């Protein structure tokens, strides 16, 4: 039997939800909920929970040739097990899935660079070059990562954290879709879905700092 309660956190004056499990003796053993669940706002939780449905709807409306051309990258059911990311630079491009007049469409941006760092809070993600600058943290959650971040003012910036400006907050899900290939899907305005394709690049091809 389980009961839910809020455990006060000393750091940041925030609250983290905890799960209390009663063992065989009846004593309560607290199990902390994932950090992202304690941090995400109710509005963004709804956006995150609705991502799969809106994404599936858009994918089903894509012309067959587009679905074939983009393959697993835009298929919401294509996530693989063992999603573990590795720190380093990634080549990344952004695809926007959106509803057009008669069907859904995909708009792709030129390839740029993103970077992933391992930290105590989770994997820190930042888009280093190109448009759609985003930065935040990726939190392990089963066969996926949950992303909480913010839209930045310029590429390579990570000064805006999740919750600093709700109008710029971003949430999403990162998954592995192939060998050394990941994607980060972020729900956008008007039912759009932005997909960041992530593929590692060798050190000699990293962008100059």
pLDDT digits (tens, 9 = 90+) for 51-106: 999 999 999 999 999 999 999 999 999 999 999 999 999 999 999 999 887 789 99
At residue 117 the predicted structure's pLDDT band, cuts being 50, 70 and 90, is very high
More confident residue, 7 or 177: 177
Among residues 196, 74, 188, the alpha carbon closest in space to that of 135 is found at 196
At residue 30 the predicted structure's pLDDT band, cuts being 50, 70 and 90, is low
Determine the Cα–Cα distance for residues 206 and 200; give it in Å rounded to an integer.
10
Neighbours of 148 (CB within 10 A): 24
Regarding beta strands 193-200 and 134-141, do their DSSP bridges make them parallel or antiparallel, or are they unpaired? unpaired
Determine the Cα–Cα distance for residues 53 and 76; give it in Å rounded to an integer.
9
Domains of the chain with CATH codes: 2-33 (no CATH), 42-205 (2.40.160)
Average pLDDT over residues 121-147: 95
Q: What is the pLDDT of residue 191?
A: 86
Determine the Cα–Cα distance for residues 146 and 83; give it in Å rounded to an integer.
12
Coil, helix or strand for 41? Answer: coil
Q: What is the pLDDT of residue 121?
A: 86
> Which residue, chain included where needed, has tokens 């065989």?
24
Helix (H) or strand (E) holding 59: helix 42-61
At residue 196 the predicted structure's pLDDT band, cuts being 50, 70 and 90, is very high
Average pLDDT over residues 179-203: 93
Determine the Cα–Cα distance for residues 116 and 128; give it in Å rounded to an integer.
10
Neighbours of 206 (CB within 10 A): 14
Q: Dihedral of CA 61/63/65/69: which sign? A: negative
User: In the sheet where 28-32 sits, what is the strand order?
Assistant: 2-8, 15-22, 28-32
Contact 59, 84 (CB under 8 A): no
Percentage of the chain beyond pLDDT 70 is 83
């Amino acid at each position: 039997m389980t009961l839910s309660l809020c455990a006060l956190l000393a750091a940041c004056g925030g609250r983290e939800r905890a799960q209390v499990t009663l063992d065989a003796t009846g004593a309560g053993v607290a199990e902390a909920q994932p950090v992202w669940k304690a941090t995400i706002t109710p509005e963004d939780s709804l956006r995150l929970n609705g991502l799969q449905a809106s994404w599936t709807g858009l994918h089903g409306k894509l012309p067959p040739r587009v679905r074939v051309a983009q393959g697993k990258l835009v298929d919401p059911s294509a996530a693989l097990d063992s999603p573990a990311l590795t720190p380093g630079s990634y080549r990344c491009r952004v695809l926007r899935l959106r509803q057009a007049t008669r069907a859904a469409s995909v708009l792709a941006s030129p390839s740029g660079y993103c970077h992933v760092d391992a930290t105590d809070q989770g994997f820190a993600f930042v888009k280093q070059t190109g448009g759609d600058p985003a930065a935040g943290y990726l939190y392990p959650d089963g066969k996926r990562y949950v992303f909480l971040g913010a839209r930045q003012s310029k590429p390579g910036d990570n000064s805006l954290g999740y919750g600093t400006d709700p109008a710029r907050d971003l949430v999403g899900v990162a998954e592995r879709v192939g060998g050394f290939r990941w994607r980060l899907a972020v729900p956008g305005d008007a039912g759009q879905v932005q997909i960041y394709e992530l593929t590692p690049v060798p050190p000699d091809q990293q962008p100059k700092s």
